[in-house]
Amino acid sequence: MFPKNTWYVACTPTEIDDKPLGRQICGEKIVFYRGADEKVAALEDFCPHRGAQLSLGQVCEGKLVCGYHGLVMGCDGKTVSMPGQRVQGFPAIRSYPVVERHGFIWVWPGDPALADADRIHRLEWADNPDWAYAGGLYHIACDYRLMIDNLMDLTHETYVHTTSIGQKEIDQTPVTTRTEGDTVVTSRFMENVMPPPFWRANLRGNNLADDVPVDRWQVCRFSPPSHIMIEVGVAHAGKGGYGADPKHKVHAVVVDFLTPETETSMWYFWGMARNLNPRDRALTAQIRDGQAKVFAEDTAVLEAQQRNLSQYPQRKLLMLNVDAGGVQSRRILGRLVAQEQPPRVS
What pLDDT, in 10s, does the model give residues 299-309? 999 999 999 99
Q: What per-residue confidence (pLDDT) applies to 59?
A: 94
Is the pLDDT reported for residue 166 higher than 80?
no
50 within 8 A of 67, measured Cβ to Cβ:
no
d(CA 147, CA 243): 29
Q: What per-residue confidence (pLDDT) applies to 345?
A: 65
Q: What per-residue confidence (pLDDT) applies to 295?
A: 87
- Calculate the average pLDDT of the chain: 91
Q: At what angle do helices 144-152 and 281-311 cross, to 10 degrees?
A: 120
Among the residue ranges 29-33, 129-133, 164-168, 244-248, the one predicted with the least confidence is 164-168
With CA atoms as reference, report the closest residue to 172 among 152, 192, 151: 192
- What are the distances in angstroms from CA 64 to CA 48, 231, 289? 13, 41, 36
Render pLDDT for 49-66 as a digit per residue (tens, 0 to 9): 889 999 999 999 888 999
* CA end-to-end distance (rounded Å), the chain: 24
Is the pLDDT reported for residue 229 higher than 90?
yes
Mean pLDDT of 133-153: 95
Mean pLDDT of 100-124: 94
Confidence of residue 270 (pLDDT cuts 50, 70, 90): very high
Is the pLDDT reported for residue 204 higher than 70?
yes
Mean pLDDT of 284-307: 90
Confidence of residue 155 (pLDDT cuts 50, 70, 90): confident
Three-state secondary-structure class, residue 281? helix
Q: How many residues does the chain have?
A: 346
Is the pLDDT reported for residue 185 higher than 90?
yes
Count CB atoms within 10 A of the CB of residue 81.
16
d(CA 26, CA 8): 9
Q: At what angle do helices 281-311 and 197-205 cross, to 10 degrees?
A: 160
- Quick one: CA dihedral 327, 328, 331, 336, positive or negative? negative
Residues with Cβ within 8 Å of 185's Cβ and at least 6 positions away in sequence, in order, are 177, 178, 179, 219, 220, 221, 222, 325
Give the angle 199-225-33 at the CA atoms, nearest 5°.
90
Is the pLDDT reported for residue 158 higher than 70?
no
d(CA 14, CA 283): 22
Is the pLDDT reported for residue 281 higher than 80?
yes
d(CA 84, CA 77): 20
Q: Which residue has the higher pLDDT, 162 or 14?
A: 14
Q: Burial-class residue 50 by CB neighbours within 10 Å (0-12, 13-18, 19+).
A: exposed
